[in-house]
Amino acid sequence: MPDRTVQIAVPRPLHAVYDYAVPEASPLPEVGARVRVPFGNTNVIGICTSNSVDSPHPKLKAVTEVLDYGSAIPEELIDLAKWMSGYYHHPMGEVFATVLPVAARKGASFEIDPPDSWAATHIEFDNKRAHAQRSLLDYIRENGPTAGADLVEAGYRRETLRKLVASGHIEAALPESTHTAEQPPQPSKAQADAIEAIKSAIGRYHAYLLEGVTGSGKTEVYLRAMEPVIAAGGQVLVLVPEIALTPQTLKRFQNRYASVGMMHSNLTDHERLQTWLKCRAGEISVLIGTRSAVFTAFSKLGLIIVDEEHDSSYKQTDGLRYSARDLAAKRASALSIPVVFGSATPALETIHNSDRGRYTRLELPSRAAGASMPTYHVIDTRGQSLRDGISNELHHVIRKHLDNRGQVLLFLNRRGFSPALLCTSCGWQAMCPECDARLTLHKQPRQLMCHHCGLRLEVPEACDECGHLGLIPVGLGTQRTEDAVAQRFTDVPVYRIDRDTVRSNAQLEARFDKINTGAPAIMVGTQMLAKGHHFPNVTLVAVLNADAGFLSGDFRAPERTAQLIVQVAGRAGRAERPGEVWIQTWQPQNPLLNRLIEKGYRGFAELELAERRKMGLPPARPMAMLRAESSNPGEALELLGKLKSQSSNLECMGPVPAPVARIANRSRFQLMLLADNRSVLHTALARLSPGKIPRTLRWSIDVDPYDSL
Ligand code: ADP
Ligand code: ZN
Ligand code: ZN
């Protein structure tokens, strides 16, 4: 009977979907239902992609269990998954594994937990010996309805809570809304125009580029543009970069709207699924989330916002290498709703799309609340002797700002103490034994660390080659800069902010709280500091070394460097006091740097985009990167050679060794493919046939790669 056959995508790296029979006794699962099926010699949970198939196979295996008869995922997400499988050339079953929350994949129930918020009833409490219960009850009477998690945080036990619920002294309560009647600022003319434009597109697909200088009040535009969506009972998805999702960000939305949810990688699997389910049920009206939140199921999504849309964290760099930014546009178009891409430094892809009329550009040319843009100054370091990477001139500028009670931010995109340990006698350098890479010297704890494979080694006393005792650290990392400025500017605190000092959003928040007390201080940090944060008292931003980024061989490096410089510069002068940006460079004549300083990011982007078009690079032409790695280099190279021979109608560059040619003892190669248009590229990629892959070899297709080196 053909109508009892379903097609299942199984969570395995296979491009096919499989037919199964549904036993007579069981109702037919809907498309999008989770179904347990026998596969190989185990059972797996797959997703039903069709329930009306004519199977050519006479003897089908039967479905073991139908977890949901109705759809677990809305049809729109199934279509998105199918599209991704084709676009990213990734197996269907694995696409679902990315789209669904982990707990959903493992078969967890789709029940939404009852609310965990508790209020006191009016029943008199007269048990004099139950001190713990008395104390908990008093706490709730004092604080009003309280979340169970907050009670635990305050030192109470769940058991005590249960007893009070059982005796009727406490009952479940709806959590009190945290939003205040805070008076929102009056939008500027530019903000108001942008808000109106976005509002006018509600109910149909339209993509906007909201290009607003740092501090121009893009968030205020988002908050107001979403008003009519929420008033009509709709939902809004706000994507933010990984590190920007701090309680600060959340609070800005909560102050305005009642049911705001959060989705990010620090949640437990259960919490993620719960949030996902609440969005699916329409209980959350604004979801703020990082990359994978783009896959959340919604009952009535009405608007998508991608904040800091240029940010690299929107691109997944392993497994299914998707771009959440691009998928946001795809989803918006499928749902006929508007999407807004906001940035002070839009990706060249996005500018290209707006140049071609695919996105409408909305501009916020000046800072909100009257703050002025920072002024740029270049320090020519040629012929100067720098002490710990800081020129005399910069030293004096730092002193001046601290004396004027300003805060100073020093930007250096390299963590650790120094990126090399060198023998002064023979020139030997400490290398990672597992990778083709230098080891970075770290202090606290003092060790050599490989930033590629994570290996940690003791710091040797003597040179490995010649036994000489004079090993010196060469080059500058954030730890060294921190040490150096702490010794020179003893009157102010120095805060280092990088992945070694800040491992969670809570830690980041704690640092920011200290910094935002406003007293003079120096911050030393990596790109972590560049992302969207608001430091009202920073008056000086210094870029210690602007050159490295512009000199890299990656064609995207100038774009990324310009974005970083403008973003980090954007931390200066965000409040009443104007800001200054000082840039140290060995190449003051560098045309890209000069263009950026003279014409701003837009001017830079136009020049760089013209260059990309001339070279036939993205976004002018689509690109894919094939990567292969193996403990046996010959194998990887051979595979890429074979794939290249199958791609004769594409422009191929390579195969060549990857920039770090060996990581954790596996050799890595890459082959860059360019085509004149998408359909040529995708036809070619779909035709690739690698043949039998040895166990030691791994390879991948990366469509629209972010890193091309
Ligand atoms: P962006 O995201 O564009 O860098 P923000 O949204 O963080 O900028 O806004 C910067 C600051 O300006 C915030 O403190 C915000 O509250 C304030 N702001 C935004 N719009 C206005 C306005 N129209 N009037 C006064 N202040 C505003
Ligand atoms: Zn030596
Ligand atoms: Zn290593």
Q: Dump pLDDT digits (tens) for 147-161.
A: 888 888 888 998 998
Q: What's 346-384 look like in SS3?
A: CCHHHHHHHHCCCEEEEEECCCHHHCCCCEEEEEECCCC
Q: How far is the CA of 565 from the centre of ligand 1 (A)?
A: 21
Would strands 407-411 and 522-525 be described as parallel, antiparallel, or unpaired? parallel
Sign for the pseudo-dihedral over CA of 669, 675, 677, 683: negative
Residue 116 and residue 149 in contact, taking contact as beta carbons nearer than 8 Å: yes
pLDDT for the residue numbered 709: 63
Q: How far is Cα 367 from Cα 673, in angstroms, rounded to an integer?
A: 41
For residue range 103-145, list pLDDT tens digits in order.
998 988 888 888 778 888 888 888 888 888 999 999 988 888 8
Q: How far is the CA of 387 from the centre of ligand 3 (A)?
A: 30
Q: Is the pLDDT of residue 376 over 80?
A: yes
Would strands 338-343 and 206-212 be described as parallel, antiparallel, or unpaired? parallel
Q: How far is Cα 511 from Cα 509, in angstroms, rounded to an integer?
A: 5
Q: How far is the CA of 441 from the centre of ligand 3 (A)?
A: 13
pLDDT for the residue numbered 532: 63
Q: Is the pLDDT of residue 221 over 60?
A: yes
Q: How far is Cα 1 from Cα 248, in angstroms, rounded to an integer?
A: 58
Q: How far is Cα 207 from Cα 346, in angstroms, rounded to an integer?
A: 14
Determine whether the shortest distance from the Cβ of 345 to ligand 1 is under 6 A: no
Backbone angle region of 211, left / alpha / beta, with phi > 0 → left and psi within -120 to 50 → alpha: beta
pLDDT for the residue numbered 2: 47
What does the block give as tokens for 649?
């109608």
What's CA 285's distance to the chain center, in Å? Answer: 22
Residue 688 and residue 645 in contact, taking contact as beta carbons nearer than 8 Å: no
> What band does 244 get if pLDDT is binned at 50, 70 and 90?
low
Q: Whose structure tokens read 């990857």?
A: 658
Q: How far is Cα 119 from Cα 145, in angstroms, rounded to an integer?
A: 4
Q: How far is the CA of 421 from the centre of ligand 3 (A)?
A: 15
Helix, strand or coil for residue 700?
Answer: strand
Q: Which amino acid is at 262?
A: M
Which of 183, 197, 281 lies closest to 233, judged by CA? Answer: 281
Would strands 301-307 and 338-343 be described as parallel, antiparallel, or unpaired? parallel
Q: Which residues of 176-189 are buried (b: 16+ CB within 10 A; e: fewer)?
A: eeeeeeeeeeebbe
For residue range 624-665, list pLDDT tens digits in order.
999 999 999 999 999 999 999 999 889 999 899 998 899 999
Which residue from 220, 223, 246, 256 has its CB within 8 A of the most atoms of ligand 1, so it is best to mutate? 220
What's CA 530's distance to the chain center, in Å? Answer: 14
For residue range 333-347, list pLDDT tens digits in order.
999 999 999 999 999
Q: How far is Cα 481 from Cα 433, in angstroms, rounded to an integer?
A: 28
Q: How far is Cα 555 from Cα 621, in angstroms, rounded to an integer?
A: 13
pLDDT for the residue numbered 127: 81
pLDDT for the residue numbered 182: 67
Which of 416, 472, 486 lies closest to 445, judged by CA? Answer: 416
Q: Nearest residue CA, atom 1 of ligand 1?
A: 215
Q: Is the pLDDT of residue 69 over 90?
A: no
Which residue from 219, 309, 364, 574 has its CB within 8 A of the most atoms of ligand 1, so it is best to mutate? 219
Residue 12 and residue 38 in contact, taking contact as beta carbons nearer than 8 Å: no
Sign for the pseudo-dihedral over CA of 566, 572, 578, 579: negative
Element (H, E) at 246: none
Q: Using N-to-C axis directions, what is the helix angle for 678-687 and 75-87, rounded to 10°?
A: 80
Determine whether the shortest distance from the Cβ of 629 to ligand 1 is under 6 A: no
For residue range 662-692, list pLDDT tens digits in order.
999 999 999 999 999 999 999 999 999 988 8
Q: Nearest residue CA, atom 4 of ligand 1?
A: 215
Helices (H), 226-284: 227-231, 247-254, 269-280
pLDDT for the residue numbered 528: 83
Upper half-sphere CA count for residue 545 (Cβ side, 13 Å): 18
Determine whether the shortest distance from the Cβ of 185 to ligand 1 is under 6 A: yes
Q: Nearest residue CA, atom 21 of ligand 1?
A: 368
Quick one: DSSP state of residue 115? P
Query: What is this structure's pTM?
Result: 0.90
pLDDT for the residue numbered 501: 84
What does the block give as tokens for 537?
């008292």
The residues with which 45 forms a beta bridge, in sequence order, are: 36
The Cα diameter of the chain in Å comes to 85
Determine whether the shortest distance from the Cβ of 241 to ligand 1 is under 6 A: no
Burial class (CB in 10 A: 0-12, 13-18, 19+), 431: middle
Quick one: DSSP state of residue 313? G
The stretch 506-528 carries a mean pLDDT of 87
Q: For the chain, report the end-to-end CA distance as a whole number of angstroms.
A: 53
Q: How far is Cα 51 from Cα 4, in angstroms, rounded to an integer?
A: 7
Neighbours of 623 (CB within 10 A): 23
Q: Which amino acid is at 375?
A: T
What does the block give as tokens for 529?
């500091």
Determine whether the shortest distance from the Cβ of 567 to ligand 1 is under 6 A: no
